Amino acid sequence: MPTTLPKEAVSVTEFKTEPFTDFSNPENEKAMKEALKTVRAQFGRQYPLIINGERIETSDLLVSTNPSCPSQVIGKFSKANTEHAEKAMSAALTAFESWKKVAPEKRAEYLFKAAAIMRNRKFELSAWLVLEIGKNWAEADADVAESIDFCEYYGREMLRLANPAPLVPIAGEKNKLSYIPLGVGLVIPPWNFPLAILVGMTTASIVAGNTVILKPSSDTPTIAYQFIQILEEVGVPKGVVNFVPGPGASVGDYLVQHPKTRYIAFTGSKEVGLRINELAAKTQPGQIWIKRVIAEMGGKDGIVVDADADLEAASDGIVAAAFGFQGQKCSACSRAIVHKDVYDKVLEKVVEKTKKLVIGKPEEKTSFLGPVASKSAYESILNYIEIGKKEGRLMTGGKAFENEDKGFFIEPTIIADIKPEARISLEEIFGPVLAFIKADSWEHAMQIANNTEFGLTGAVYTGSRAHLDEAAADFHVGNLYLNRKCTGALVGVHPFGGFNMSGTDSKAGGPDYLMLFSQGKVVSEKI
């Protein structure tokens, strides 16, 4: 990230991350409670598709519900079919012809205005996240803050890339390297960061000059719709972003395979990401480019605790990273890999701290763990817990958390004495389940840390400078954290993306991210 901005953008301040809200402040607590009431009053509304600015309603509906109380309908959404997908493609193609010619400074200005609106509506947007997907107040607030950061950061990055790139001069020629947009992109965001990642992939697309077909997660279409309204409010032209919720198996596959789709930006599971990559790789009749796939997929992230580590700090980091947002982060710590000399002490501390976590409806300020995202996630996680009970020693949790509203709550679960090759050590669970693994030595811990097909995040707690350096060189993940937890990446501070089956190492929130949505063009003139 540049420390200074180009002359064309001298009025734009240097990027700084959005501060988190202090909910111990009574005014902020009151504002959040009011926002929750405001959002609840909007439950059950019906929402259209938005294609080229046109509201389109269908009889086939997708229903979003509150995972804390599944009988509560957040919203009903018109569901797109392949005809709507084709209409969205046509709109995006038409809009691209004019949008690509809009000055980068103007495109960046739309992002800055969107950031300002989100900043003013932070409590309301957080409330949607609390009620639609079960984030607690702090997690929801962080999601909105990251969304604001993406707008501010990518806007500034576009201003930087708009300047001519430095080239080696040669006598008798004038040479210029510039970055131009790709075309129409399909953006498929996940449900776990349904505002931040959606905003990041969408704003990177449009600020680079592309147009977008946005297919939000079926679990979180309401928060997606809120952002579409913000883009409309700041004046983004019709057709630049088209909102088409619908089934991945039909609408998603149709658009991935469409010959006019230039790229797919996807965040989600390994299985879906690999399918997208496979479908996109096959050239269709009339297709004149190789499609790009920008994918951030799964993780099986470990925190390594060395024999000389600060055990209190390590235990705090493990608990926060394992159970924040119910473990439903691709960066979550699902494996604690602990040196045998301190294994029992760390296990005891982590179990003790985990038992103190408050489970409850996330709309309550005191709740730390809310529900998991859906019935299917709930059933899958409980099944993995049963597998884990057979593979190791259950220390705490291990079952659903009973509640009168039949929400999808699961106790934070720790299973000890897991073998490195066990299923719950290798397979992504995406829930509040932590496997404790004993390492015989530092070298053994590093071997275990690298024994999965993933490579997203990891962390090491150690007092040894040599071991920190070895981890930096040999722990094969895209984001490695030393003596801190493995979650909580900040835009511009920790560019985010992983190796192997964790995706294409896209490094969202970093200085090369917009290049993935652009193509370089060199113009050479003899003088």
Q: Dihedral of CA 271/272/277/282: which sign?
A: positive
Cα–Cα–Cα angle for 436, 298, 315, rounded to 5 degrees: 30
| 336 within 8 A of 314, measured Cβ to Cβ | no
Residue with the two structure tokens 């084709």? 86
| 72 within 8 A of 66, measured Cβ to Cβ | yes
Q: Strands 499-500 and 454-455, how do they pair?
A: antiparallel
| Catalytic (active site) residue 296 | yes
Beta strands (DSSP E) in 306-358 are 333-339
Report the distance separating Cα 318 and Cα 339, nearest Å: 14
DSSP 488: -
Residue from 18, 132, 296, 428 carrying the catalytic annotation: 296
| Catalytic (active site) residue 486 | no
Report the distance separating Cα 417 and Cα 58, nearest Å: 52
Residue from 330, 363, 411, 486 carrying the catalytic annotation: 330
Q: What SS3 state is found at 493? A: coil
Closest CA to 500 of 330, 329, 334: 330
Q: 271: which residues sit within 8 A by CB, 6+ positions away?
A: none
Q: What SS3 state is found at 250? A: helix
Q: 521: which residues sit within 8 A by CB, 6+ positions away?
A: 177, 178, 179, 180
Q: What SS3 state is found at 447? A: helix
Report the distance separating Cα 373 and Cα 366, nearest Å: 20
Q: What SS3 state is found at 195? A: coil
Closest CA to 488 of 300, 321, 311: 321
Half-sphere exposure in the Cβ direction for 361 (13 Å, CA): 15
Which residues are known to be catalytic? 296, 330
